[in-house]
Amino acid sequence: MKAWVLRAPGGPQAFTLEELPIPAPRPGWVRIQIKAFGLNRSEYFTRIGDSPSVELPRVLGIECVGVVDAAPGSDLVHGQKVAAMMNGMGRQFNGSYAEYTLVPRTSVFPLETQLSWGRLGALPEMLQTCNGSLHLGLGVESGETLLIRGGTSSIGLATLALARAMGVRVWSTSRSQAKVQMLLDAGAERVFIDQGQLREAVRERAPGGVDRVLELIGASTLKDSLQCVRPGGVVCMTGILGGQWVLPDFEPMMHIPSGVRLSSYSGGSSDIGPDTLQRYVSLIESGALQIQTGTLWDFDQLIEAHRAMDANRSKGKMVVRLA
Ligand SMILES: NC(=O)c1ccc[n+]([C@@H]2O[C@H](COP(=O)([O-])OP(=O)(O)OC[C@H]3O[C@@H](n4cnc5c(N)ncnc54)[C@H](OP(=O)(O)O)[C@@H]3O)[C@@H](O)[C@H]2O)c1
């Protein structure tokens, strides 16, 4: 099979297209013929050498959609449509930047849908992350105001759509004036230009603070996000777009205002059940839930797709298709 292999950290050109053996079937594991896969920042961090636990060489890719090719001793049948994500995929063992992958049954979600592979490929990891952030991390309720920091990211845009569908009022951010209209068109009630300090602008609109903040920029803006929330409100750390993982000089009693809660969502495929994923996929297929997604790439364009990720040209989830 053809696979993009990362042998050493580097720029987008660090990936090499190689011929590898198709992985041998194994009880408890599912071999998937990959039809499409979403690109994730996690793969970017691994590519640049920021994931020390990932041993190279490795075929990256933490999610895919496709059809079951072999599933000895399992309830899945040959040809069945599935998604797979996480649980070591593309990190502890070879992942989805390939024509086939072999993953544990526990990472596989059967799906019934007529969505194109390109559209379906955008969904599994993105929906898992947004669903987990909204419900487990933030506990957001209908009628509340949610500020999404890093709003133009694929996770930011998808969370905006899911939150709006729940009746949540969404405020969003970008560093770029040129992306404001895109966020308004996607349903944001307000858009802030984020240069790292939002407290004053947010408090002008909501003097008591907003109900929830989804923090996708990371440690570099976290202290400021904590200042944007009302007592009893929640800030959930889900992303590290700013590249700063550690919060230096953090004094909890000084930096967390009284009554404000700090939470996180680090993701896992078991956080979203197969029924929930299927429900979202069906809502998207029917048009009841609309999520803006980014560019669709062909398999041989992987390097160009990573260049687009480096340059923040994505405007939503990027997908590579094989079918
Ligand atoms: N916890 C989990 O389970 C989980 C799962 C998936 C992803 N994530 C994380 O969620 C975050 C979003 O991922 P994604 O794939 O949705 O990202 P993405 O679509 O690639 O995000 C692109 C956007 O990020 C913003 N950005 C890039 N560099 C930035 C910087 N230095 N400072 C501020 N903003 C910056 C840009 O927005 P503007 O140019 O508009 O400002 C750009 O439009 C990532 O940190 C990712 O690791 C977490």
Nearest CA to ligand 1 atom 40: 174
CATH of the domain at 91: 3.90.180.10
CATH of the domain at 137: 3.40.50.720
Looking at the structure, tell me whether residues 46 and 64 fall in a common domain: yes
Q: Is 309 in the pocket of ligand 1 (CB under 6 A)?
A: yes
pLDDT higher than threshold 80 for residue 62: yes
Q: Is 293 in the pocket of ligand 1 (CB under 6 A)?
A: no
Segment 124-137 shows an average pLDDT of: 97
Q: Is 155 in the pocket of ligand 1 (CB under 6 A)?
A: yes
pLDDT value of position 312? 87
Segment 37-52 shows an average pLDDT of: 96
pLDDT value of position 292? 86
pLDDT value of position 100? 98
Looking at the structure, tell me whether residues 27 and 130 fall in a common domain: no
Last residue of a domain, one of 247, 264, 281: 264
At 78, the pLDDT band (50, 70, 90 cuts) reads very high
> Model confidence over 239-254: pLDDT tens digits?
999 999 999 999 999 9
At 313, the pLDDT band (50, 70, 90 cuts) reads confident
> Model confidence over 274-295: pLDDT tens digits?
999 999 999 999 999 999 889 9
Closest ligand 1 atom number to CA of residue 217: 33
Tell me the pTM: 0.96
CA of 251 to the centre of ligand 1 (A): 26
Task: State which residues form the domain around 187.
Answer: 125-264
**Residue 115 burial class via C-beta count within 10 angstroms: exposed 0-12, middle 13-18, buried 19 and up:** middle
Looking at the structure, tell me whether residues 233 and 157 fall in a common domain: yes
**Helical segments of 186-251, H only:** 199-205, 219-226
Looking at the structure, tell me whether residues 32 and 154 fall in a common domain: no
